């Protein structure tokens, strides 16, 4: 199947599906597929999700259980293509026609279906499923697919660097050029929302990184992910992060409530941090925003020397989030005084309790304080009685070593915990551990993936700009009565 993948593909992924299914206990030695009840329940609840559809269709597809599954990405006719070996084309045809809602037709010698952004074809024991980069006539889509399936053009086999990645003995191998990463990120609603909240993530997409080489191994007790970033020593990416990243420490967790299920942190040197294009743009936006311009946000950010972090958790009783933002500062008391003076200039006087300055915003208490050099702002819908995330030995060890990382803690014994972050500027590592002790990690991970809503194209103009939101936020800030 590798001969089908064109030499100019901007990304290639191989998945050892037979090995993964066998380790999960879902595939017997005779090739029978059995889904655990715990996973079946999740699939039934989320039967329209991409991964649920795959698991529903898998037993009926006539899949060749000895073959790996490949996917690749291009900037031409097809954006993404999945290739799967098929033992029984008649069985595969029935499943695809049921999903597509129409029958296969011969288009210039290729049995195929085109519906919406999806294009399906069956040819010579290969199932070919593509999404198109832009709407085109089915004859053009068929011609592009036939050219690949003919296996006569230059293929990815001619690229030794990519083949070294794909031939590695891992459950999943991936080689993505930066153009491939950009292609995927621009189509992702999740990425768009994340980049709006955490603009620094663009460093990994809008830069001069050459490529990403990734591998994953799924075992019964955990899933491990490693990513290598290929970038020259004199590249903008290496220069930016070398000068900007600070020494990691987990001390900021002492101001993050234990209930925060999602924690993101980046250790930075403030003087260099403000020079990053993403941060410079944010500062200019603040300066132009009414009222907020009174606060010297640039001088505050320059005092940071260590982690800038955010912890978040969905409120169990309200359709809202609880959150805390914290940053290690070289002059925490001075910055706190600046924030207090800014609030006073807006006519807001805080209530002081237990060395915290308490305001009210949007019917929620906002607490400002200094914990051993870590400035923090807590926005909670409840009175905090629990401890702090620093008591979590796993989170403490992770953030003490990773200068930039994300930690997602399992909730209510569902799914699992995920930690993923930089080891150094060229290497990232991640681990998934099931929430329930003794649970199969592969099955638990599939439960999480099957719960993800189907990806849909996002609409432009649906997100409020900072300039529009900030004046309202400032106007609603008032002291607790």
H or E element in which residue 351 lies = strand 351-353
Average pLDDT score, the chain: 86
- pLDDT computed for residue 278 by the predictor: 76
Task: Summarize the confidence of residues 277-301 as an average pLDDT.
Answer: 82
Res 182: pLDDT: 82
pLDDT tops 50 at residue 338: yes
Mean pLDDT of 326-338: 92
Question: Which one, of 47, 58, 72, lies nearest residue 21 by Cα?
Answer: 58
Q: Which residue has the tokens 């819908």?
A: 381
Neighbours of 374 (CB within 10 A): 22
Indicate the pLDDT class of residue 468, thresholds 50, 70 and 90.
Answer: very low
- Torsion from C-alpha of 422, 260, 202, 130, nearest 10 degrees: 90
- What is the structure's pLDDT at 404? 94
Cβ count near 192 (within 10 Å): 15
Q: What value does the mean pLDDT take over residues 122-140?
A: 93
Report pLDDT digits (tens) over 246-269: 999 999 999 999 999 999 999 999
Residue 195 pLDDT exceeds 80: no
Mean pLDDT of 433-458: 78
Residue 177 has pLDDT above 90, yes or no: yes
pLDDT at 33: 80
Three-state SS at 252? helix
DSSP state of 459: P
Tell me the pLDDT tens digit for each residue of 43-53. Answer: 898 888 888 88
Provide the percentage of residues in the chain whose pLDDT is more than 90: 50
Cα separation, 244 vs 238, whole angstroms: 10
List pLDDT tens digits, range 11-26.
999 999 888 888 888 8
Reported pTM: 0.84
CB within 8 A of 160, min separation 6: which ones? none
Model confidence at 163: pLDDT above 90: yes
CA 376 – CA 396 distance, rounded (Å): 18
User: What is residue 429's predicted lDDT score, i.e. its pLDDT?
Assistant: 97
Residue 465's pLDDT is 36
Contact between 324 and 379 (Cβ < 8 Å): yes
Size (the chain), residues = 481
- Look at residue 426 and tell me whether its pLDDT is greater than 80: yes
Answer whether 196's CB lies under 8 Å from 464's CB: no
3-state secondary structure 432-451: EEECCCCCCHHHHHHHHHHC
- Decide if pLDDT at 427 tops 70: yes
For 78, the token pair is 């097809």
* Residues linked to residue 368 through DSSP beta bridges, in sequence order: 357, 377
Could you tell me if 124 and 81 are in contact, meaning their C-beta atoms sit under 8 angstroms apart? no
The arithmetic mean of pLDDT across residues 469-479, rounded, is 35
**Spatial separation of the C-alpha atoms in residues 306 and 299, rounded to whole Å:** 16
- The closest alpha carbon to 299, from 262, 268, 344, 329, belongs to 329
Contact yes or no for 191/178 (Cβ under 8 A): no
Using the predicted structure, report yes or no on whether residue 473 has a pLDDT greater than 70: no
Would you place residue 454 in the very low, low, confident or very high pLDDT band (cuts 50, 70, 90)? low
Does the structure show a pLDDT above 60 at 481? no
**Which 8-state DSSP code applies to residue 448?**
H
Listed ranges 62-71, 90-99, 288-297; the one with the highest mean pLDDT: 90-99
Q: What percent of the chain has pLDDT over 70?
A: 90
Nearest to 120 by CA among 133, 134, 102: 102
Q: What is the mean pLDDT of residues 353-357?
A: 87
Find the farthest-apart pair of alpha carbons in the chain and give their distance in angstroms, rounded: 78
pLDDT for position 168: 94
Looking at residue 467, its pLDDT comes to 34
pLDDT score of 460 more than 80:
no
In which band, very low, low, confident or very high, does the pLDDT at 189 lie, cut at 50, 70 and 90?
A: low
Each residue of 52-86: pLDDT tens digit?
Answer: 888 888 888 888 878 899 999 999 999 999 999 99
Could you tell me which residues come within 8 angstroms of residue 166 by beta carbon, excluding any fewer than 6 positions away?
Answer: 2, 12, 14, 156, 173, 175
Amino acid 447: pLDDT = 87
Paired strand residues for 265? 309, 405
Q: What is the pLDDT of residue 48?
A: 82
Residue 472 confidence (pLDDT) above 60: no
478 pLDDT band, cuts 50/70/90, is: very low
- Give the pLDDT mean for 396-411: 92
Pick the residue with more confidence: 32 or 123?
Answer: 123
Highest mean pLDDT, choosing among 12-26, 160-174, 179-193: 160-174
Q: Which of 140-144, 236-240, 296-300, 443-447 is the most confident on average?
A: 140-144
Strands 126-132 and 118-123: antiparallel
Angle, CA of 420, 273 and 248, to the nearest 5°: 40
> How high is the pLDDT of residue 194?
66
Cα distance between residue 361 and residue 381, in whole Å = 11
Confidence band (pLDDT; 50, 70, 90) for 347? confident
Asked if the model's pLDDT at residue 180 lies above 50, the reply is: yes
């Amino acid at each position: 199947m590798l001969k089908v993948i064109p030499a100019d593909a901007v990304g290639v992924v191989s998945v050892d599906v037979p090995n993964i299914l066998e380790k999960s206990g879902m595939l017997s030695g005779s090739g029978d597929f059995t889904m655990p009840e715990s996973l079946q329940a999740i699939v039934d609840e989320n039967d329209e999700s991409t991964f649920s559809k795959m698991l529903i269709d898998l037993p009926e597809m006539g899949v060749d259980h000895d073959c790996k599954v490949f996917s690749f990405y291009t900037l031409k006719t097809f954006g993404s293509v999945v290739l799967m070996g098929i033992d029984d084309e008649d069985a595969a045809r029935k499943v695809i026609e049921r999903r597509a809602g129409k029958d296969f037709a011969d288009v210039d010698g290729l049995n195929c279906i085109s519906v919406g952004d999806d294009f399906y074809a069956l040819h010579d024991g290969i199932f070919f499923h593509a999404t198109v980069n832009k709407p085109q006539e089915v004859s053009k889509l068929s011609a592009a697919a036939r050219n690949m399936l003919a296996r006569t053009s230059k293929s990815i086999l001619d690229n030794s660097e990519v083949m070294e990645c794909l031939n590695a003995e891992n459950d999943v191998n991936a080689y993505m050029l930066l153009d491939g990463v950009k292609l995927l990120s621009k189509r992702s609603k999740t990425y768009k929302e994340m980049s709006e909240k955490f603009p620094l993530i663009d460093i990994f997409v809008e830069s001069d990184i050459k490529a990403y080489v990734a591998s994953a191994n799924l075992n019964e007790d955990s899933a491990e992910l490693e990513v290598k970033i290929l970038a020259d020593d004199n590249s903008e990416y290496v220069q930016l992060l070398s000068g900007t990243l600070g020494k990691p420490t987990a001390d900021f967790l002492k101001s993050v409530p234990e209930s925060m299920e999602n924690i993101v942190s980046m250790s930075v040197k403030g003087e260099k941090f403000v020079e990053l294009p993403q941060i410079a743009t944010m500062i200019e936006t603040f300066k132009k925003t009414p009222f907020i311009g009174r606060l010297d946000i640039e001088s505050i950010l320059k005092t940071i020397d260590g982690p800038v972090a955010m912890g978040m958790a969905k409120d169990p009783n309200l359709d809202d989030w609880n959150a805390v933002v914290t940053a290690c500062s070289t002059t925490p008391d001075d910055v706190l005084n600046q924030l207090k003076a800014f609030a006073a200039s807006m006519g807001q006087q805080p209530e002081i309790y237990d060395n915290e300055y308490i305001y009210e915003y949007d019917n929620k208490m906002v607490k400002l304080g200094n914990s051993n050099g870590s400035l923090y702002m807590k926005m909670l819908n409840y009175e905090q009685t629990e401890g702090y995330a620093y008591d979590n030995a796993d989170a403490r060890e992770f953030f003490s070593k990773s200068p930039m990382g994300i930690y997602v803690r399992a909730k209510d014994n569902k799914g699992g915990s995920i930690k993923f972050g930089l080891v150094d500027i060229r290497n990232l590592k991640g681990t998934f551990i099931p929430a329930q002790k003794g649970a199969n990690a592969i099955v638990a991970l599939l439960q999480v993936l099957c719960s993800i809503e189907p990806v849909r194209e996002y609409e432009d103009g649906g997100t409020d700009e900072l300039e529009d939101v900030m004046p309202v936020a400032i106007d609603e800030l008032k002291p607790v009565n």
